[in-house]
Amino acid sequence: MRENNRSAGMAVRALSEVHLAIQRRCIDLVLAEIQQEGKGEPPVPYAFLIMGSGGRKEMIIRTDQDNGIILADDPVTEAPETRRWFMDFCDRVNHRLDDVGYEWCTGDIMARNPDFHKTLNEWQQQISNITDLPNEKRARWSTIFSISKPCTAMIV
């Protein structure tokens, strides 16, 4: 029985790696599309996070989206055009993921949602709020965010 459980766990982790590769490819395609439109490279470093079952490497055949983005703490990040660039990027990524079979998260835990689209400092403040002033919604967020995995990142 233990051997079967180990094999099942290995299969789920392997399937999760396939899901992560597909999601990375979607992100790469969106970046290429944005560049082809002349909108350039990402204006600041970022990390696109896969949360929930993806972060735990427990994705099975059908899974929804649980993702977010961390933007660099940089004065450029606060510029409206930078925020627009990343909101467009995240919206496109979420749509592309939906197009290939990753359904919208019913809880809207997606990078296009401003609650999951923040600078590093904003994320740190949110995590402090979760731990200092817990409530049901924050408890749910903490379980989703605490087990997250960078899917792709541009680090300078």
Q: Is the pLDDT of residue 133 over 50?
A: yes
Domains and CATH numbers, the chain: 2-154 (3.30.460.10)
Q: Residue 5 — pLDDT band, cuts 50, 70, 90?
A: low
Q: Is the pLDDT of residue 39 over 90?
A: yes
Q: Is the pLDDT of residue 127 over 60?
A: yes
pLDDT digits (tens, 9 = 90+) for 10-38: 888 888 889 889 999 999 999 999 999 99
Residue corresponding to tokens 């400092």: 121
Q: Residue 55 — pLDDT band, cuts 50, 70, 90?
A: confident
Amino acid present at 118: K
pLDDT digits (tens, 9 = 90+) for 65-80: 989 999 999 999 999 9
Q: Is the pLDDT of residue 100 over 90?
A: yes
Q: Is the pLDDT of residue 156 over 50?
A: no
Q: What angle do CA 132, 137, 140 make, to 5 degrees?
A: 90
Is residue 126 within 8 A of residue 109, CB to CB? The reply is no
What is the pTM (predicted TM-score) of this model? Answer: 0.83
